[in-house]
Chains A and B, each alone.
Chain A
Amino acid sequence: DQQVKQNSPSLSVQEGRISILNCDYTNSMFDYFLWYKKYPAEGPTFLISISSIKDKNEDGRFTVFLNKSAKHLSLHIVPSQPGDSAVYFCAASDSGTYKYIFGTGTRLKVLA
């Protein structure tokens, strides 16, 4: 039972354009969400988070949107840069268990 889904295994975007990575979840108890970026041979690196009391959080080029009614979150990267090419994971947890559930990842390729 995959509670956190990233339905697009890969995405290609031109440099300078917007990258939109999507994540869906099924557990309505999830109240904290994170995005991580992973380069080959490295561990995931934290990018940005959002709690369920907000619907948007921004940090530089990265913005996360949360739609609780649709159980959907998205990560926007503007403008996209070649160095953003990596695998992106979304993760969700509920404050009752503190257990993080990760999606299967989306491989982003930013074309120069």
Chain B
Amino acid sequence: KAGVTQTPRYLIKTRGQQVTLSCSPISGHRSVSWYQQTPGQGLQFLFEYFSETQRNKGNFPGRFSGRQFSNSRSEMNVSTLELGDSALYLCASSPEQGGIQYFGAGTRLSVL
């Protein structure tokens, strides 16, 4: 079974631009969560989608948004990028809400 796939692996953007990151969960998994990892901050929860609905949200500004499609694939969008948005963005999927989460390799975003 293929694991969680995140694309692209690396991105370089400039301040003020917007970016879209993609996540394909493990086949059959219906829950997709997104996290931001920065040095010293661990994994900060962004949001979780289950059956195309956002079920949980972390403490991030409205510039961070996401969606989930009917095939459980998910996208995350960040608008009006700031330097502080530079981070590793991780996607995780699980069969149901609250189950063990399986992570992708992440997308490393650099904002210049």
Interface of A toward B, CB cutoff 8 Å: 6, 32, 34, 36, 41-46, 49, 89, 91, 93, 95, 97-105
Contact = CB atoms under 8 A, between A and B. Distances in A.
A93 B98 contact: yes
Given A32-B98, A44-B43, A104-B42, A98 B55 contact: yes
Nearest to A95: B98
B26 interface: no
Contacts of A100: 33, 45, 101
B32 interface: no
Contacts of A91: 43
Interface of B: 4, 6, 31, 33, 35, 40-45, 48, 55-56, 58, 90, 92, 97-98, 100-106
Contacts, number: 54
25 contacts: A6-B42, A34-B100, A36-B103, A41-B105, A43-B4, A43-B103, A44-B43, A44-B90, A44-B92, A45-B103, A89-B42, A89-B43, A97-B56, A98-B48, A98-B55, A98-B56, A99-B56, A99-B58, A100-B45, A100-B101, A102-B35, A102-B42, A102-B45, A103-B42, A104-B42
